[in-house]
Structure 1
Amino acid sequence: MTDRPAYSWPDPDRDYANGAFIPGAGDYPPRWSREAAALREALGPRAELDLAYGPSPRERLDLFLPAGAPRGVVVFVHGGYWHLFSKAEWSHFAAGPLARGWAVAMPSYTLAPDARLSGITAQIARACNFVASRVGGAMVVTGHSAGGHLAARMGCADLSVPVARVVPISPLAELGPLMATGMNATLKIDAAEAATESPARLRLRDGVTAHVWVGAEERPAFLWQARVLAEEWGCPWTAEPGHHHFSVIDGLKDPESDLCRVLLEGL
């Protein structure tokens, strides 16, 4: 059995503790790293690695190209509560869109506490604009967990980003509850930033379509986050049966999955 924090209510740290409720949670990151490295090697020259999209050291992205001319580009933004991981662990989740003829870009970004969430948002917007200069066609932005937050932000009306569609996966769309968690010592979210960086409090930009995706077996807080965003934006949302927070992105590896279908729907 996975070690779990002792129950108390209310308990924001327990609400957002994913690994504590997923059997074998510790096996996922090393597996992701191995599978990601294998895909990069398999793509060879179709993997353009460590492209600089901004001046800071972590403003780098990998661009994966399909066998033919790209139909468009998917930008995948990684999670890790804005303070963990990099682009290197996620490359294999490009497999589904690549098989459908789409290029895939995966940016890293400066992690908290070295950057505030507003600064990370600005970096991902810069990455999207850079990608648009390299690959033509429609742009879809997706991302997982904290990356789902950043994907959703790319569709908000306060930003100017050449995005046609956003598909946030298990997004952190309302930041207010995170202010009460222990990790906010690292994130440093305050009331002002929660107001300006919570996608659920912001309007979806005109002309951008959206679909929110979440695993049906995720923590209740993540199901709430997904539903709140979908309700505020008036867009569809899906709670995928049989999936928890770490497995919900598996559909990105399969071009025939429901997630890949929804990702590229209408484009």
Structure 2
Amino acid sequence: MFYKVTDWDDAYANGAHIPDAAQYPPRWQEQAAAFRSAHPPRQMDRSDLFLPDGDVAGLAVFIHGGYWMKFDPSFWSHFAAGPLAAGWAVLFPAYTLAPRARITEMTVEIAADIVRAAEIVDGPIALTGHSAGGHLAARMICNDGTLPDEIAARVSSCVPISALTDLRPLMRTGMNDTLNIDAEEAQRESPALLCPRMDIPVTPWVGGAERPEFIRQSRILADIWAGLGAETELVIDPGRHHFDVIEAMRDRNSPLVRRLLRPARGRQA
């Protein structure tokens, strides 16, 4: 079957294809506020770091989405529940949104936050993020010095959820009036166009009911990086759409959280 994008804005429009889509952000914000009330985070400038009771197994990082233009960590705190219950600290890094910052600057900000949190929390580092945050999670393990070698050596897994891995199609959408992605930045900041660090397992995770472009974007990362020698596995989560695919982050026993917190397999603890 032939596949061709003819409407780039619709191809990347999630809410228009999800029932009751407008209810999700306020629900997330309410649930996140309740979670923070029960589990007050440690503030790191604009970022939140949740620490478990007792010994800490490692550092999980969840980078929020919103097409690099919306939201902040306060909408997502409840998605720390799964890793936190498993004994992991969970970092929700903040980053400056477009148009105040370009995606290149966001990459630098996220990396700096991870380095700061890694100085506080020992052990392996598990990286994930949703949508634009999935892009930034994958971007952290590109082999271009984004993360310092000593921090990258601790990364035990990367699970980009519904990630945007090739930025070039976004240049054809109306969103680019705000994002201002040009050809040079698309080449520099697209994980699918870069080489990964070879010793980090990567699991692009995407809902089976998502827009075809999101499934394609996850597939190309898995395929291209596997072709460069990385260990990858694409997971298409049946029936999940772009807004509910992250619900599994709240359950320590979900396949998504188990994959994220996989054993470090000999990497630095």
Q: TM-score, normalised by structure 2?
A: 0.91
The aligned counterpart of 2:194 is 202
Query: By how many angstroms is 1:207 displaced?
Result: 2.5
The aligned counterpart of 1:228 is 220
Larger RCO, structures 1/2 (Cα 8 Å, 6+ apart): 2
Cα deviations by residue, 1:149-188 (Å, 9 ceiling, x for unpaired): 0000001001234241211000000001000000000000
Question: What is the count of residue pairs matched by the alignment?
Answer: 250
Q: Give the gaps of 5 or more residues in structure 1.
A: 1-7, 53-59
Alpha-carbon distance in structure 1 between the residues aligned to 2:195 and 2:139: 10
Asked if residue 10 in structure 1 is aligned to residue 2 in structure 2, the reply is no
Q: Give the gaps of 5 or more residues in structure 2.
A: 227-231, 265-269
Kept after mapping to 1: 8 A contact 2:61/2:91:
yes
**Equivalent residue in structure 2 for 1:93, among 61, 79, 92:** 79
Cα deviations by residue, 1:81-120 (Å, 9 ceiling, x for unpaired): 0010000000000000011110000011100010010000
Kept after mapping to 1: 8 A contact 2:161/2:205:
yes
Query: By how many angstroms is 1:9 displaced?
Result: 5.7
Asked if residue 182 in structure 1 is aligned to residue 169 in structure 2, the reply is no
Asked if residue 48 in structure 1 is aligned to residue 42 in structure 2, the reply is yes
The aligned counterpart of 1:4 is none
**Equivalent residue in structure 1 for 2:239, among 239, 242, 246:** 242
Alpha-carbon distance in structure 2 between the residues aligned to 1:229 and 1:206: 13
- Opposite residue 35 of structure 2, the aligned amino acid is L
Asked if residue 264 in structure 1 is aligned to residue 265 in structure 2, the reply is no
Map 1:1-267; keep pairs closer than 5 Å: 10-44=6-40, 47-49=41-43, 51-52=44-45, 60-158=46-144, 159-161=146-148, 162-163=151-152, 164=155, 165-234=157-226, 235-267=232-264
The aligned counterpart of 1:57 is none
- Opposite residue 152 of structure 1, the aligned amino acid is A
Alpha-carbon distance in structure 2 between the residues aligned to 1:124 and 1:139: 14
Q: What do you get for the CA RMSD once the two structures are aligned?
A: 1.2
The aligned counterpart of 2:229 is none
Kept after mapping to 1: 8 A contact 2:5/2:11:
no
